[in-house]
Amino acid sequence: MPKTPPLRWSIDTHTLTRAVEKLSFEADASEREALATYAEVREIKSFSASVQVVLLNGGRFRVSGRLEADIVQASVVDLADVPASLDESFQVEFWPPEMIRGNGDDEPSFEQEPPEALSGAQIPVGAFLCELFSVSLEPYPRNEGDSLAWQAPDESNAHPFAELIRLRPRTGDSGDG
């Protein structure tokens, strides 16, 4: 079951008064805690986004901007805290859902990101930022100097059945424990 993005930030397209609008969003403590749970990170110390909304023709919108966050993840080596900063630029278009579905004649383009769906007259920028944040995280965080180097045990004198020989009942054992 997919997780519900915790940031409910949206932009009401009816309140946009200019062809280009600039907006800022910053997560409060409870939103950062919910987002940390959603993204499975230890802590989000700060999370903010600056957004520019451009009105396109046909009820479409281009949203671009920058996501910035200071976070703490768990090291995959020893579970120690790994502090990190994210600074991600983005650009995405939001279209009415009926325009996205299309008529089936269009070939999908692999050269550009597909548009996101408007939610009624709302641009669900919070949900988009949650997803962008999640995919921008370091998948295998570790601190400087951490190593996953594995060393094979010294088996130069090991007999291939040494463990079985150790488990074999000794002479005189009744075997019933």
Q: Which one-letter DSSP state was computed for residue 160?
A: T
pLDDT at 105: 47
What's the average model confidence in pLDDT over 41-51? Answer: 98
What is the tens place of the pLDDT at every residue in 108-160?
Answer: 566 778 999 999 999 999 999 999 999 999 999 999 988 877 777 666 666 76
Q: To the nearest whole number, what is the mean pLDDT of the chain?
A: 88
Q: What span, in angstroms and rounded, lies between the C-alpha atoms of 57 and 55?
A: 7
Q: In this predicted model, which residue has the larger pLDDT, 26 or 146?
A: 26
CA 6 from centre of chain:
13
pLDDT at 103: 45
Whether the pLDDT of residue 90 is over 90: the answer is yes
pLDDT at 26: 98
> What is the model's pTM?
0.78
The answer to whether 108 touches 43, Cβ cutoff 8 Å, is: no
What's the average model confidence in pLDDT over 79-103? Answer: 91
Q: What span, in angstroms and rounded, lies between the C-alpha atoms of 35 and 57?
A: 33
